[in-house]
Each structure stands twice: as structure tokens, then as C-alpha cells.
Amino acid sequence: MERADRASTRLRAASGAGGGGDDGDDLESLRKAVEYFATVKERTPSNGNLHMEAIEGIAFEKGLLPDAIEALLDVAMSGRLVDRFNTRLLKCLIPASVVPESAVTKAISWMCTRKPTIHIQVLFMRWLLTVFDLLNSKKELHSLYGIIFFYLQNDKLCPYMCRLLYLLTKKDNVKRFRVKKLIDLQSKMGIQTHLVALILLYKIHAPEYVSLVPLGKPKNFQVSGSLWKKAIDRIQNNGYRHLAEAPSLVNLTEPPVRKRKRKMHRELIPVVSSAPHVTQLSRSQMQNKTFPLEQLTTFSQLLQNFDWIEFPAQMGSVLRSPLLLHYINWVKDDSALLRLDLWLAQTLQEEFADCNGESMQKEEEFTEFLNIIIRAQECLQEGFSCCEDFVFKSLTLWDSSWCSSQILALLTRIPPSSDVIYLYFDPLKKLFFTSSVYFKCNVIESLTNLLVKWLTWHSVCVAEMDKEIPNVLQSPQNVTLSGLVNSISELVEFCARISIVALQMEAYNSLLLHFILNFYETVSDIYLKYNLPLVIMPPAGIFYPALLSLESVSLNQLCYVLYRYRTNLIALKSLDPSKNVHIGLQVNRKMFQQYNAFVKAAVSCLWTSRSFAHDIHPMGIGIEYNLLAQTRVPDSKSSFTIVNHPALMGHAINFIQQGKVWNWYVEYLYNQGLDGLKLFLEFSIHTSSSSQH
């Protein structure tokens, strides 16, 4: 009754200040409606429909301010009215600004009295999870952690309570008895995503309490809030939220007209801000509590207030602030990353689940949002698990015509695992073979970036292990070293298979061959550059097209790749064999034989004029002498030497036109920027002429 009187008083004051007209009439009708429901004693009030329509009309058009939400939520949760009215009241609680925490704590206290039905309790929890980021404070809500945890025993409320606890949990909340209760619930209910997510969060805060985690990673919580979310987004994005401190209970005035260009995109990412109770603190109080995030603008401020920074309630807002992303990187707060991952999962599901490239504006919003995620991942040097799920679901529907670079960029953050090829690259393979050569090049480039990220993670772990830094052998995905080696081998093998077919389909396109050889530049240097004793040779279906290429760039790349293979093999040959056995690797004779066969074929072509006679590879270019004679090509044996090779023909003609002596031709090629050719010839051909060069 006291809350109703306070709301009524504020409404009368606002009505008097608002003057006449429609706005004054709406204010008066709203005042009467709130006062009516706050004081009515009937369970089925006779004039309920009339007043309810007045509240719904204003709520869905302008939104309600804190006092109205507090009064109406108290009525709905008290159980005085029938569920038909309570449901309608909860559905029209659309905040125009913030949600008072006191209203939520009072509603939870009503739940303890068992007056609201289970249907109303579930509906209230759905509403609370939708407006959680709009709460003006969460201090009192944190104090109810134990009461909220108690409701996990209710099967219908359990998913929603898990989600709320997930958002509220701090290290101090993790107790041994709560872990035991969660495990008991899991054994009773089976593997549930909401329980798994909460157990995983508890394990991060207190690993000594949780020894085992259920198999499989938890997906995003399946808690729908679309009933209110669309209305909230529409009202707050239309500019009504700035009236949070207006004297009226409900906002009925149009937002001021601003002379600026209309925004094309919706504000999906919240603005970085502290809770109101933080921003209103005095400076002396602030030093003992938290630093307002609105004032965090420079890196020096971040360093000076490092111990007083608290993550915002709306975790998605950190995507707007590189400083907060740096802060996450430094403090290594896994719970913050989990909260951010949860927010991203919900946004991708609720905003872009139906995005298929048909709507231009939707695609622009989607592209902009994905670019923000990609930049955040690059800053954190870590991928989000929700993006893995999103890419997995998208690949089955994707036609490569929309958000191509963004999807492929997200693909480069997939962690190594035993099923990465089956889950992500096999669906991509169908699209790869039916798309343009440019898309094929983009896919090969993405595979190269993915391989580099896996190898970089391994090299960093090895470097930290040498410094005796603890916990360096476990990645965020808990991948073992042998598992990483298997994933890398599968990735290289997959790239080799699709590259061979793609080269045949695209008539050995030079651009495509360039990206494929870029991939093998990384593969050839796995040991010396990334400290992983592993050598995987390119297949003949890639080696020979590059050797006989019409482009000097491709031939030069191939020579450089062969040189790096040689350098790595020599280094591996001198490696202690026990280190290879430790991870199941061996530098065996077959590997050297394969390399020597490629070198022999390259030297025979470029230098000794025996290309067709000595190549015995099944996919090689060996041709019997009698067949070669029937071609009637003059001096056919020297067709692919450095003088006659089609890829170097332009250099040879230019050299002749300059009137130089042929003994200087090799030096001339070296001066044309063909460094790969130079390194290969100098280290692979042992003749007096080469030693002089």
C-alpha cells in the first residue's frame, strides 16, 4: 500500500506538470490503473480489463519507468489476482530505463511465500533474465544467492535459476556443499546443459571442489526472452532510455529531436557503463569500491585503477572497449570470458538466427557484429565457444555469397580436436568445390591461418614449459600434445586433398597455386619455427604442377619450400630420438626418400637436363626415350632447365637482349628477386660453378 501511495503521488505531480492534452489524459489513466491494481481486493476485478488495456498501451509504446515496474511487479507476484491478470501484468513490464533492484528482491520474497503459482514464477524468472542487464544494482540480489540456489530443486525453475546463478556467481559463492548438491542433481536429472554450465563455472572458481566435469561442452542456455526483448530493444533504441530520472512514473513525451544522421544499424552492443550506484559515489567512496567505467578512457587510467575496476553488468559492452579487453587478458578471469561467451551466444541466436543474406540491412548489421567479434578474438588471442557452434550450424546453410570473409575468419579460431575435420571442414568441402576460384583461395588462406594459430599455441606452451611456468600443457580446450599433432596432420592432409582436386578443376590457376604453396611454406617450417618435430611432405599432385608452372613466382615458391624442408630435415636428423618417441614421431627413412625424390626431380629439370629420364614417381614426368623421340621436339631433355623453363623464359629473353654472357645468367636470376631459387640451387647442387656463385 505504501508503494502504491508513493507511485500515485508521483503520478499526480507528473500529471500536474504535464499540462493538458493527450499526455495529461494518459498520465491520469495510468495513475488510476496502477492505483486500482495496487488497492483492489477482488481476485477477478470487474474493471480489470479496462485498466489493464491502459497499462499495456503505454508500456508497449513508451515503456515504464522504475516506480511503475516496482508497483505492478509487486501486484503480480503477491497472488492477489487471478493468473490471467498476473500474466498480463508481467508481460507488460517493459522498462524505459532501468529496473529497480528492490522490485526484484521483493518479488523473490513473494516466491518464498508460495503465493504466486509456478506458472507466474517461471514467467517472472524469464522476465528477470531478460532485464538482468538493466538492473540498477545487484548487491541485494547477490545477498539472496542461497535462496536462489535452493530453487534448483524445482524441476521447472531449475533451468532459469541455473542461468541466474551463472550470472551472479563469484568465487565467494562457490562452496563444497553447493558443488555436491549440483552433482546430486545431475545424477538425478541426467546431463543437462544448464547444470553442466554452472558446474563448469564452479570448477573455474574452485577447481579443488570439482574433480570431474561432464563430457561435452555446455551450449548456450535455452531460455527464451523474446517476449520482452524485442519491445525493450525497440523502446530503448528509439531514445527513451535517457529519461530514466524523469519525475513521471511513465514516459509520455517524445524524445528530443537531434540534428544528426539517422543510424542505419541497431545498437546491439550495450554502452560501457557502471551501475548507477557506482556512478553516484563520491570520490573518496569510489577509491574504496569500484572505478566508474565511463571514466576509463586511457591506458594510464587502466593501470592506475587496476585494482578498482569491476566488469560491467552488461558483459557485452566490453566489446566496445579495447581497454577492458586488455584487462580481461591480464586478469585471466575465466568467469568473465564465460559471461561474455553467453551474451554472444544469446545475441547470435536471437538476432541473427534467420539471417540468410536476403535482407541487405540485416546482412550489414550481421557483418558489422561479426567484425566486432573477430577484433575481440584477435585482441584476446582466443576464440569464443559460441562462435564454434555458430560456424558449425552456419556451414550447412551457407552459400558463400554473404559474410564470406567473416565466417572464414571465425573458422580460423576453431580449437584443435579429434573431430574438427568431420564437424567443420567436411561440410565446407562441398561448398569449396562448387564455388569460384577466389573463394577457394580464401578457404586455403583460412586453413593456413588456422594452422599458424595451432602451431603458435604449441610454441608458446613449449617456451613457457622451458621456463618452468606451471600449467602450460593445458590449453583452454584441454588439448594434449599428441592430440595437437593428430589434428595438425589431419588438417594438412585435408588441405592436400582439396588442393589437388581444386588445381585440376581450375586448370592449375596460378593464384590458387600461390595460396597452396603459402600453406606449405608453413608446413615445411613446423620444427624450426614452431618447435614441433613433425614433417609432412606435399603430395605429388601439388609438387609437379608447381615445378612445371608457367609463373616464375610459383617456381620460386616451390624452390623455397624445398629449401625449408631440407633445413628442417637436417635439424631433425640430429635431434635426440627419445624426444620423437615421446610423442610418437620418428624421422624415418621413408620421409627422406620422399624428399630426395622431389629434389632429384627438381634438379633434373632445372639443372642436369634429365627431367624425363630419371623421374620414376608414379605421378611424375618420366617419359621413355622412344616416346620422347616421337614428339620431334628439338632438345626436349632441356625443355625445363633454368634457360628454357616456361616460367623463366621472360627472364632469359630479357637477359639475351641485354647482351650479357651466359656464364652470368644464374647470377642475373638471383638479382631478379628469385631468392627461393637461389637458396635451392646453392644448397642442392654441388658443382664447381655453383660453389663459385
Q: Read out DSSP for 508-535?
A: S-HHHHHHHHHHHHHHHTHHHHH-----
What average pLDDT does this structure show over 415-434? 87
By CB atoms closer than 10 A (0-12, 13-18, 19+), residue 223 is middle
The DSSP element (H or E) to which 184 belongs, if any, is: helix 176-189
What integer is the mean pLDDT of 609-614?
66
For 467, list phi and psi in degrees, rounded to 5.
Answer: -90, 5
User: Could you tell me the pTM of the whole model?
Assistant: 0.74
**What is the reported pLDDT for 505?**
96
Cell numbers placing 294: 565511463
- Asked if 55 and 239 touch (Cβ cutoff 8 Å), the reply is no
Q: How far is the C-alpha of 642 from the C-alpha of 591, rounded, in Å? A: 27
Query: Which residues, 6 or more positions from 381, have their beta carbon under 8 angstroms from its beta carbon?
Result: 329
Q: Which stretch of 106-110, 161-165, 361-365 has the lowest confidence by average pLDDT?
A: 361-365
Q: What is the pLDDT of residue 248?
A: 41
CA 470 to CA 462: how far, in whole Å? 12
pLDDT classification of 221: cutoffs 50, 70, 90: low
571 C-beta neighbours (distance < 10 Å), count: 13
Q: What pLDDT, on a 0 to 100 scale, did the predictor assign at position 514?
A: 97
Contact between 77 and 111 (Cβ < 8 Å): yes
pLDDT reading at 264 higher than 70 = no
Closest CA to 505 of 597, 439, 447: 439
pLDDT digits 0-9 by tens, 1-17: 555 555 555 545 444 44
Phi then psi for residue 507, to 5 deg, are 55, 40
- Separation between Cα atoms, residue 52 and residue 384, nearest integer Å: 44
Give the tens place of pLDDT for each residue, 46-58. 666 777 888 888 8
Dump pLDDT digits (tens) for 22-48.
Answer: 555 666 777 778 888 888 877 777 666
The pLDDT of residue 312 is: 78
Give the pLDDT of residue 242. 41
What is the distance of C-alpha 538 from the center of its chain? 31
pLDDT of residue 16: 45
Residue 213 clears pLDDT 60, i.e. is over it: no
Residue 278 has pLDDT above 50, yes or no: no
